[in-house]
Amino acid sequence: MDRLILTGATRIYGAGAEPMREHALVLEEGRIKAVVPIGRHPTDAAVLDLEGLTLLPGLINCHVHLCLGGEADPARVLLEDPPALRAIKAVLRAKQTVEAGVTTVRDLGGVDGIALAVRDAIRARLIPGPRVLAAAKGICMTGGHGWRFGREADGPDDVRKAVREQLKVGADVIKLFATGGVMTPGVEPGSSQLTPEEIRAAIEEARKAGRRTAAHAQATDGIAACVDAGIGSIEHGIFLTEPIATKMVTGGIALVATLIAPERIVNHGVKAGIPEFAVRKSEAVHARHVESFQMAMRHGVPIAAGTDAGTPFNPHGSIVPELALMVKAGMSPLEALRSATSVAARVLGLHEETGRIAPGLAADLIAVGGDPGERVEALDDVRLVIANGRIAVNRLKGGA
Ligand SMILES: [Zn+2]
């Protein structure tokens, strides 16, 4: 893309506190060059007319697994597929993701280095997809949650080594499994797993390399240990407490709740083919999960949108189902939009790159019908997606 003008949008979100009107965007070499009053844009460029649409930053999903496909038992499918097929499926999921208006994802754990390869192929413009930050393998204790796909490590020294291994293969972020969870048989969400010493060692190693960290943390003690050690984000955070929420605010530690993940498991149930252990555990924690989300909101914990895409009946693509649940739990639609744009970008350390509409940032932009600031469901009416300066979807009048 040389130069492109986006004009005529009814409203623009992400360019300031209030929706902006009567402005055009000038894009150049894949970036936002300028935001100018309509009519004041250069005339020597291609123009896309967004009449009647809402323009906003591309969406960010802070928690996906490109290796998992959202089948009733995704782990079984993954383990049965040969590695080449796993990679092909991940490529298709990346395409599906960007076509839904999600222009950045953080992949929190997979196998065979697939998410890293998908990331690099997208970056090299070989395949369509969102910007990917990838964790390579998640780090768990021996037999702990995530062991079927993770790197099992025991003791601070081994955990350090496990972190170094992920850095060596090119991980952008380090993922820890601090507690039990729903999708692994034989472990409980309410039990702590990695020790505080192990968690501290992992975070220290990541920090030395300038990488951020994220922890699957459901049990109270495990969440507390991660927060005390200075984790970047708490994933799920099911058994959060008021004192921990206060510490998260002080430390600027985000919650990525992934409300949709247990919700889908509970709604579909065993009859749909989801393993019984996952259904039983999800049912047990479901209500407490929503309470913790609301607790975090009340305290002002930064909340970033993430879906855990790939878990049962939780496919890659739209993050609207998660945003709708966040709204149902009490968030305003505008806050939900921020959690999937500016707040998410900050949590990922990408706030100078994406998540807002401002000169100098990457051209990660979407246009949708309706007003998602009133109704997040409007985000599913995707008319235009520009991901890192490339048009991924164009359903505008006269568009290809
Ligand atoms: Zn996950």
Exposed/middle/buried for residue 272 (C-beta within 10 Å: 0-12, 13-18, 19+): middle
CATH of 59-347, one of 3.10.20.600, 3.40.50.280, 3.10.129.10, 3.20.20.140: 3.20.20.140
Distance 195 CA to ligand 1 centre (A): 20
pLDDT digits (tens, 9 = 90+) for 47-62: 999 999 999 999 999 9
User: What residues flank ion ligand 1 with Cβ within 5 A?
Assistant: 308
> What are the residue ranges of CATH 3.20.20.140 in the chain?
59-347
Distance 65 CA to ligand 1 centre (A): 6
Query: Which residues of the chain form CATH 2.30.40.10?
Result: 3-56+356-394
Q: How does pLDDT run across 180-204, given as a tens digit for each residue?
A: 998 888 888 889 999 999 999 999 9
What's the CA gap between 97 and 365, in Å, rounded? Answer: 14
* Tokens coding 95: 């395409």
Residue 215 CA to ligand 1 center (angstroms) comes to: 10
Residue 64 CA to ligand 1 centre (angstroms):
6
CA–CA separation, 209 vs 304, rounded Å?
Answer: 24
Among 246, 176, 188, 159, which Cα is nearest to 215's? Answer: 176
pLDDT in tens, 28-52: 999 999 999 998 888 888 999 999 9
| Gap from CA of 12 to ligand 1 centroid (Å) | 32
What is the structure's pLDDT at 1?
57
Between the CA of 308 and the centroid of ligand 1 the distance, in Å, is 5
CA of 62 to the centre of ligand 1 (A): 10
User: Ligand 1 center to residue 233 CA distance, Å?
Assistant: 13
Phi, psi of 51 (to 5 degrees): -50, 125
Architecture of domain 3-56+356-394: Roll (2.30)
- CA 195, 217, 215 angle in degrees (round to 5)? 80
Distance 120 CA to ligand 1 centre (A): 21
Global model pTM greater than 0.85: yes
Q: Which of 385, 307, 326, 386 is nearest to 62 (CA)?
A: 307
Output the CA 287–ligand 1 centroid distance in Å. 19
**What pLDDT digit, counting tens, does each position of 284-340 carry?**
999 999 999 999 999 999 999 999 999 999 999 999 999 999 999 999 999 999 999
